[in-house]
Amino acid sequence: MDRYERILALHRSLKTARYPVPIKRLMEELACSRATLYRDIAFLRDALGAPVESEGEGSIRYDEKEAERFELPGLWLNSDELHALLAAHQLLDRTGQGVLSSALAPLKGRIESLLAQQAGGKRWPVERVRVIASGVRRRDELAFRLVASAVLERRQLEFDYLARSTNERTHRKVSPQRLTHYKDNWYLDAWDHEREGLRSFSVDRVQHARLLDPAARDIPDEELNQHLASSYGIFSGAPKGIATLLFSAKAARWVADEHWHSKQEGRFLPDGRYELKLPYSNAKELLMDVMRYGADAEVVEPPALRAQARTMLQLALSAYER
């Protein structure tokens, strides 16, 4: 790491330490020599005003009374934090030219200002960081703002909903709970008052949205997580079963590093293949993600899920046999 990152790491190490930190340990953490470390300590103490104290010959610490109040002057970001800012800048650029873009313009300007401070006034080449969207659906920016406002202001919302699965239009009155960004698209998790249950709505299918005066009904986080996050993908509901998937040794190099679900279990088999187990409620999205691996993926269990996968593959094959 360069001097800038060493100073930042040294400060954070001393700031969070409850006891004196040995010089030897700091040399290992910062990957530097004793002479370099002492120069950094001197700079931290003399140039930046850090309350550095020596504890014997082999340790240092921040003065207990001053440690809580001392912070490095100016803006100090490590490389990961800087990369996160650059990525956020690009994500804001992707919002397009709609109502949402104008609402986020001040935030984008603030990020550009922070990046300029980090570069000593020079312009960061943010165009060299790309965030590529995949499968983004068009949305009504006004509807998105109303949905987001209902979530944050804790107000009830009513709207017409055109479901993709049935192509049917229904009128909904809901208490918004969460706004979820999943696979480059937005979803509203809400309590449906007429159906008396939690539902997830694709925001791009929300039409004629209107904020209502009554306060939204709050559902406990535990209940939300149980219903909305216990199964695979965006589809809600308690798990109906555990899917066992098998991937070829070739696909295993990708799948073993992927996060499919918080409760997934994976292991390499002796022949190099990879077995993945995870809970699911609605098979649709799970099978779509399995199918992208083609012949390198196999649904093993449960039998009903395996039969559904076989049917999908047979139907796909029949389209090429005409």
Domain positions in the chain are 3-69, 79-126, 141-219, 241-321
Whose tokens are 């299918």? That residue is 205
pLDDT for residue 8: 84
pTM: 0.58
Sign of CA dihedral 300, 302, 306, 309: negative
pLDDT for residue 27: 92
pLDDT for residue 99: 47
Report residue 312: phi and psi, to 5°: -60, -40
The CA-based dihedral angle spanning residues 166, 170, 175, 180, taken in that order and rounded to the nearest 10 degrees: 30
Three-state DSSP at 174 gives strand
Amino acid at the residue 212: L
Report residue 307: phi and psi, to 5°: -65, -40
The fold for domain 141-219 equals SH3 type barrels. (2.30.30)
Three-state DSSP at 130 gives coil
- CATH topology match: 3-69 vs 141-219: no
pLDDT tens for the chain, 322 residues: list them.
Answer: 677 778 888 998 898 888 899 999 999 988 899 999 999 999 888 888 889 998 877 899 998 888 888 887 765 555 566 656 666 666 666 655 554 555 556 666 666 666 666 665 566 666 666 666 666 677 777 888 889 889 989 999 999 999 887 889 999 999 999 988 887 788 899 999 999 999 889 998 999 999 999 999 999 988 888 777 666 566 666 788 899 999 999 999 999 999 888 889 999 999 999 999 999 888 888 999 999 999 999 999 999 999 999 999 999 999 998 7
DSSP-derived secondary structure letter, 270: T
The CA-based dihedral angle spanning residues 26, 28, 31, 37, taken in that order and rounded to the nearest 10 degrees: 30
Cα–Cα distance between 23 and 59 in angstroms, integer? 5
Report residue 89: phi and psi, to 5°: -60, -45
Q: Which residues pair with 166 in a beta bridge?
A: none
| Contact predicate 268/252, CB 8 Å | yes
Sign of CA dihedral 258, 264, 267, 272: negative
Q: Do strands 59-62 and 52-55 pair parallel, antiparallel, or not at all (unpaired)? A: antiparallel
DSSP-derived secondary structure letter, 231: S
pLDDT for residue 315: 92
pLDDT for residue 74: 60
| Contact predicate 43/10, CB 8 Å | no
State the CATH class of domain 3-69: mainly alpha
What string of DSSP letters covers 56-81? Answer: TTTEEEE-HHHHTT---SS----HHH
